[in-house]
Structure 1
């Protein structure tokens, strides 16, 4: 009798644990790119689509990269008719939700590049998810902004 109850409790605990392990948010990073800038630029901007490919909410708490002195998440906001960038602490995504990091909106500020990043070059950026124990890495490709004149500035 005791053994049967113990077995039942273990089965219930195992099922609960399996459900907890299965219910997670998984960050997918799509169309990751860095806006091309003139040689010697000390600050670049990164863009991508962040998607929660899991079945539970997730929180992106920050980003980092060996290719830059610092990486931070920012949002452009209009204050008194002037566009201003403000650092944001986190981005929360519901299951299946997409958040676009784009020019004029939320984006990554990529400070002090460790090396020159010409068009076509890639830089790995690591996103910290949840409590920071989970990460997702994506290669960001340097390219012109959509619709930009590739010969401008030459």
Structure 2
């Protein structure tokens, strides 16, 4: 039961990853070691079901690239990220920025002590996709910006073991 709760926590974290482009930690200090020890394979298996309705349907390598936040990800990987963002209404179809309210709500739920930082990050990174019309590229640009800004602001972002 405890392992399932920790996996749910990781899944929530991963969903925000797709939404914010970062590995965020919902875990308390005693859970950090467990979260940081998840393997790439475990995380991919948690995320794969979300790719079923995506177009194009992601291959395993595309999912791995997204999970690992590869800067030079394939277009298919970027589209999988966009698909997840759409599923969770963070980046509605046809939009070239994240829904500020939804993104902040998710970030503040996990990082209540960083609310002012979160707002600045979302506002700054929403501009990262300006001038681009490809929703997959926009989703990736904003996500990579948020990952970088969150790391710089001291958010605890665990890595996935390959």
TM-score by length of 1: 0.26
**Between Structure 1 and Structure 2, which shows a larger proportion of strand residues?**
1
**Between Structure 1 and Structure 2, which shows a larger proportion of helix residues?**
2
TM-score by length of 2: 0.26
* Bigger-Rg structure (1/2): 1
